[in-house]
Amino acid sequence: MSKAADVQVFVQHRYALTPAIDCWRLARRDGAPLPPFSAGAHVEVQIAPGVRRAYSLCSDPAHTGFYEIAVKHEVDGRGGSRALHQLVHINSDLSIGAPRNLFALTHEPGLHVLVGAGVGLTPLIAMAHSLHHSGAAFQLIARVRQREDLLFAPLLEQGPWHDCVTVSYSSQGALELPDNAAHVYCCGPDGFMQAVKAHYSALPDAHWHQEHFSASAVSTGGEHGYRLLLSASGREIEVAAGQRLIDALRVNGVACETVCEQGVCGSCVVGWQDGRPRHQDECLTDEDRQSYVALCCAGCDSDSLTLEL
Ligand code: FES
């Protein structure tokens, strides 16, 4: 999970998708292709000094001449979307990270059901493009309050896979979901995802895929102190009771890259070895957690923990 260097892009196009959501089209100034990505991937965008946020790519992964991101202006957010909306215009230069995918499609047979609410549709748009290209069976269910809130409305209503799209208006009634899903991919507010997951409670865990906008719980320090052993540098760092793991690292001068600080984006993930990390993220799978830990929200249930730092 090492990080590639940032890519320099500019805003080739920016346009409104809904009254609150804009789309930014990002490309290289020299016209060269951008790094390939798979549907469900996100990139980190350096919006301003000290303001870096992760956004899902919603353009067709088959085309790497540009990326598109769609971002809602969150009035009560942490300021990232506000800065993007206010500061990043057509022709602005930006640094972005290489695409990372924590919400990937499987390539198993059966019906792939994509369910998204509001701006949560963004990664599902890229997934629909990919599934369409591969000839896989899929259905995209877009849940919005009313038509003016539907992002990419022309694509969903008239695009090449429009007959695989169902738009469900919350102002008009309950959400209806197909029962014959082989895999379900869901993105939206937590309450929405919980309701969709409840509908698919009989589905095996490995067939349920979700992506959060924000975490439901943010780490606080644990009740007991412990020691961090940093395998690359050979350093030892004490984490006091009540202190967050990542704060202990930073106080001791260890640089830790973070974006969301909520266990969602995967930016702070590093390898671990000995010990018992307490995972509180929402971006790693159980398999990932055997080897990796998201520092921003992790705790520790043993006296020491070895990190690959
Ligand atoms: S900073 Fe996003 S998961 Fe840790």
Q: What ipTM does the predicted assembly reach?
A: 0.99
Rounded to the nearest whole angstrom, what is the distance from the C-alpha of residue 158 to the centroid of ligand 1?
A: 37
Q: What percent of the chain has pLDDT over 90?
A: 72
| pLDDT at 37 > cutoff 60 | yes
CA-to-CA distance for 187 and 145, rounded, in angstroms? Answer: 16
Question: Of 60, 62, 58, 65, which is closest to residue 43 (Cα–Cα)?
Answer: 58
> Under a CB-based contact definition with an 8 Å cutoff, are residues 275 and 302 in contact?
yes
The stretch 210-218 carries a mean pLDDT of 62
The stretch 230-250 carries a mean pLDDT of 93
The stretch 128-137 carries a mean pLDDT of 98
Q: For domain 111-211, which CATH number applies: 3.90.1170.40, 3.30.930.10, 3.40.50.80, 3.40.50.300?
A: 3.40.50.80
Question: Which of 109-123, 167-181, 269-283 is most confident?
Answer: 109-123
Rounded to the nearest whole angstrom, what is the distance from the C-alpha of residue 258 to the centroid of ligand 1?
A: 5
Rounded to the nearest whole angstrom, what is the distance from the C-alpha of residue 292 to the centroid of ligand 1?
A: 12
**What residue spans in the chain does CATH classification 2.40.30.10 cover?**
7-101
| pLDDT at 1 > cutoff 70 | no
pLDDT for the residue 220: 64
pLDDT for the residue 10: 98
The domain made up of 7-101 has a fold known as Elongation Factor Tu (Ef-tu); domain 3 (2.40.30)
| Beta partners for residue 71, in sequence order | 22
The stretch 230-257 carries a mean pLDDT of 91
The stretch 185-201 carries a mean pLDDT of 92
CA-to-CA distance for 187 and 115, rounded, in angstroms? Answer: 7
| pLDDT at 213 > cutoff 70 | no
pLDDT for the residue 286: 83
The number of angstroms, rounded, from the C-alpha of 197 to the middle of its chain's C-alpha atoms is: 18
pLDDT for the residue 216: 46
80 membership: H or E segment, kind and range: helix 80-87
pLDDT for the residue 166: 97
**What residue spans in the chain does CATH classification 3.40.50.80 cover?**
111-211
Chain position carrying tokens 């085309």: 63
Cβ of 270 closer than 6 Å to ligand 1, yes or no, is: no
| pLDDT at 102 > cutoff 70 | yes
Q: Whose CA is nearest to atom 3 of ligand 1?
A: 263
| pLDDT at 2 > cutoff 60 | no
Q: What is the pLDDT of residues 38-83, one digit of tens each?
A: 999 999 999 988 788 889 999 999 999 999 999 999 877 777 888 9
The Cβ of residue 13 has, within 10 Å, a number of other Cβ atoms equal to 13
The Cβ of residue 89 has, within 10 Å, a number of other Cβ atoms equal to 10
b/e code 119-137 from CB counts within 10 Å (16+ = b): bbbbbbbbbbbbbbeeebe
Pocket test for ligand 1, best of 100, 245, 262 (most atoms within 8 A of CB): 262
**What residue spans in the chain does CATH classification 3.10.20.30 cover?**
226-307
The stretch 107-126 carries a mean pLDDT of 96
Cβ of 248 closer than 6 Å to ligand 1, yes or no, is: no
CA-to-CA distance for 142 and 120, rounded, in angstroms? Answer: 9
Rounded to the nearest whole angstrom, what is the distance from the C-alpha of residue 256 to the centroid of ligand 1?
A: 10
pLDDT for the residue 212: 72
pLDDT for the residue 214: 54
pLDDT for the residue 219: 59
Cβ of 246 closer than 6 Å to ligand 1, yes or no, is: no
Pocket test for ligand 1, best of 264, 270, 285 (most atoms within 8 A of CB): 264
Rounded to the nearest whole angstrom, what is the distance from the C-alpha of residue 170 to the centroid of ligand 1?
A: 31
pLDDT for the residue 261: 77
> Under a CB-based contact definition with an 8 Å cutoff, are residues 305 and 278 in contact?
no
Decide if domain 226-307 falls under CATH 3.40.50.1980. no
